Structure formats: structure tokens, C-alpha cells
Amino acid sequence: MLIRRGIPAAAESPVALTIGNFDGIHLGHLAMLGQLRQAAERRGIPPCVMTFEPHPREFFAPDQAPTRLTSMREKLELLAAHGVERTHVCRFNYEFARITAQDFIERILVKSLAVRWLLVGDDFRFGARRAGDFVMLKQAAGRLGFEVEAMASVILDGERVSSTAVRTALAAGDVARAARLLGRSYSISGRVVRGDGLGRKLGFPTANVQMKHNRPPLTGIFAVEVAGVGNQPLRGVASLGVRPTVRQQGQPVLEVHLLDYDGALYGRHLRVDFLRKFRDEEKYADLATLTRQIALDVENAKRYFLTAEAPRRKENAK
């Protein structure tokens, strides 16, 4: 996938385009990307996405902005995996925020990107003071020579699929619900960095996965699978939180103890898939109590994977 930072002065070739933050890449986003690919293929032009960094809500009200579901790297990897050929990452700043809706259409969509087909959400707003909407795009499309369509919301179990719905499920510890909304297990990716070595001292060595999330959307102790080591995902138990037994204050840390692996992991880029939440993190009186609880968490993870395997073994035995 070709990644461009910003918008070119003039277009290289026509594109089919969709616009959005695409945080999490959930089922609603996947439906949009599928429609985008089909329209691009019919017209013989590349499917393209415009997204923003930072999220506009982070720019205007950083203290009130929602926590991110994906880092920019994770988002770009997911877009590429779903067939997007070009992505424009637009720096959202005061200059971008001041672009009028009409200028956005004529200068950015038509001149800079040569949009031939455009897909937006049914609630899409754009331009300074959010003055632009689908009606304005529809009126401009015939005059400026492009097509535009609106994507209806995707509904799952009576709920609109959205990044907010995913965040709500994760905050409640309902990773199964989040997985249904996403169409995949929720995951966090990052490079393994050196920690303080406490896990190894306690008998449970961990991989310290560097996060780009200052405020991860979930915390606690989880059964996980880890991709990035060998050909098959490895099973493990993960702790995501501030480690209150060890530190009085601190940034959230993602630590993963792999159940069947004891090799070196430093420097590897791993993806941690969250499968089941066991409990919230707690502050214990001492390290001995913490160690006993970690041992229980490991046993819970082993039982979870055995239980998850049982239906598969039964099916294979038929």
C-alpha cells in the first residue's frame, strides 16, 4: 500500500475514495472498504482512503477525546490487509480545520486527488465548522464530474457498529462483544522492549510490549494469543495496567507471559490478541501474594485454552 503524508498539489491519477478516522477498523469500516474496492474495480481505478492524524477530537479537545483503539501503524496495516492501495494521512491542524467545505471539495477532492467516486458515512460532515454534508457533496458531484454515495450504518444485534461501541465493550471487559463488532479479536501491536525483569525474578518471565496507547481502552488480566513468533500464534496470559503492587504511579504496561515459549523476544514486533478477561488488576500486600496470584492466572489461562480446544478436538474426531 502506498502511504502519503498530506495531500499532493495535483493528482497523479483518478481514485475511488472514502474518508474517515477508521479507528479500530470495525465491521462498519469493513463494509465501507468492501464497497470501496468493488467500486474501484468496476471503474479500473485504485481504492484510496483519507484519514487524519491526530484525530480531530484530539486536536480540538484533547482532554475529552476518546482513547484510541489502534495506533497509526496498526490502522495502516489493517487498511492494507483489506485491499486499500493508497492512504493519505492528513495532518489535522488549524490550517486544515480552516478549509471551507467548498474548498475541500474543489481543491482537495477534485484537483489534488482526482476523485471519481466517493463514499462517505451517512452522518459525514466536513469543512470549517462542519458546514459540509452529503447534500453538498451530491450537488457538487454532478457539476464537478464525480460520483458520491452514502454508506448506511451497520447494525449488529440491534446496535450500531461504531468505534464508541467497541470502546464501551472493551471498557466493560467484554472482549467477546468487542470481537463481534470488530470481526476479529481486539489486538495491540508493539515491539518487545526491556522491562525491569520482575516477571523473571518471580518465575514468570514476560515480554514487555511497547504501546503507542497512552490510555488503552481495556485493562486487567487476559488470556491472549501472540503473533510474531514462528508460524503459529502462541498462547499466553497478559497483564495490561499500571502494576499497582510494584509502582505507586506509572504509565500502563502490557506484559505477556507465554505458556509454551521461553526464547528471547527483545526487538520482535508482536501482535497480542485479547481473548478472555479473567479479572481487574489489583494491588497486593507483597510480592509473594502477587506471585501466587500470577500462578493462578496462568492456570486459568491453561484451563481456558483447554476448554476452547475441546469442541475442535470433538469435531476432528468425527
pLDDT confidence of residue 248 = 66
How many domains does the chain divide into? 2
Q: 252 and 143 in one domain?
A: no
Q: 109 and 249 in one domain?
A: no
pLDDT confidence of residue 77 = 95
- 294 belongs to a structural domain: yes
- Report pTM: 0.91
Q: 248 and 291 in one domain?
A: yes
Closest CA to 222 of 205, 243, 237: 237
Q: 212 and 79 in one domain?
A: no
Q: What is the DSSP letter of 128?
A: G
- 234 belongs to a structural domain: yes
Q: 25 and 88 in one domain?
A: yes
Q: 150 and 19 in one domain?
A: yes
> What angle do the packed helices 163-171 and 175-182 form, to 10 degrees?
160
Q: Within a 10 A sphere around the Cβ of 261, how many other Cβ atoms?
A: 15
- 170 belongs to a structural domain: no
- 101 belongs to a structural domain: yes
Q: 304 and 269 in one domain?
A: yes
H or E element that contains 40: helix 27-43
Q: 216 and 104 in one domain?
A: no
What is the full per-residue pLDDT of the chain (318 aa) written as tens digits? 999 998 988 888 999 999 999 999 999 999 999 999 999 999 999 999 999 998 888 888 888 888 999 999 999 999 999 999 999 999 999 999 999 999 999 999 999 999 999 999 988 999 999 999 999 999 999 999 999 999 999 999 999 999 999 999 999 999 999 999 999 999 999 999 988 787 888 888 899 999 876 789 999 999 999 999 988 999 999 999 988 777 766 788 999 999 988 888 889 999 999 999 999 999 888 899 999 999 999 999 999 999 887 555 544 544
Q: Which domain holds residue 285?
A: 185-317
Report the CATH number at residue 24. Answer: 3.40.50.620
Q: 202 and 154 in one domain?
A: no
- 120 belongs to a structural domain: yes
Q: 25 and 94 in one domain?
A: yes
Q: 10 and 151 in one domain?
A: yes
Query: Are residues 143 and 109 in contact, defined by beta-carbon separation less than 8 angstroms?
Result: no
Q: 148 and 272 in one domain?
A: no
- 84 belongs to a structural domain: yes
From 159, 177, 211, the end of a domain falls on 159
